[in-house]
Amino acid sequence: MVTFISHSPSETESLGVAWAREASDGWLIGLYGDLGAGKTQLVKGLARGLGTKSRVASPTFALVHEYQGGRLPLSHIDLYRLTTRDQIIAAGLEPYLIRPEGVAVVEWMERWMTEAEVPASPQLRYRRACLKALGENDREITYEDFGG
């Protein structure tokens, strides 16, 4: 497990850019953390690092935003408004969570699986990232990789 301390939104975004360098097709990133923990800022960095030109915003109401035009497609999913696995499946989001195309980043992943769970498929490359606000600008980001 790796722990990264960010002291600004730009440092959080830079971590996302670094993650984009190692991104490969079929990568699922599950984000855990309270409101304001920096999840969307991290996704902005991933998008920038993948070469996406589109403006990145939280998909809280749309549930998913897809970004094309970069090195890999990026799907940004927000499960905040969904509270059960059945709702996630009914919303048509399950394919992003079990067999993503490009890179899929999921905010509020605990709506799909707990922090202790790991996806059942050993072929799936999965990064679990937990973000915690330490102060106004400081964030603790811990992450660990599984599978793939």
Answer for the pair 103, 23: CB distance below 8 angstroms, yes or no. Answer: yes
C-alpha span between 121 and 23 (Å, rounded): 18
**CATH code, domain carrying 9:** 3.40.50.300
- What pLDDT does residue 90 have? 96
**pTM of the shown model:** 0.93
Q: How many domains does the chain have?
A: 1
Residue identified by tokens 């999913």 is: 77
Q: Domain of 12?
A: 2-146
Give the CA count within 13 Å in the CB-facing half-sphere of 70. Answer: 28
Among the listed residues 83, 72, 74, 133, the one whose alpha carbon sits nearest the alpha carbon of residue 106: 74
Residue range 33-55, pLDDT digits in tens: 998 899 999 999 999 999 998 88
C-alpha span between 121 and 116 (Å, rounded): 15
C-alpha span between 23 and 103 (Å, rounded): 7
Residue range 76-88, pLDDT digits in tens: 999 999 989 999 9
Answer for the pair 108, 79: CB distance below 8 angstroms, yes or no. Answer: yes
C-alpha span between 87 and 104 (Å, rounded): 19
Query: Residue 47 corresponds to which amino acid?
Result: A
Q: CA-CA distances (angstroms) from residue 1 to 86, 97, 119?
A: 31, 22, 17
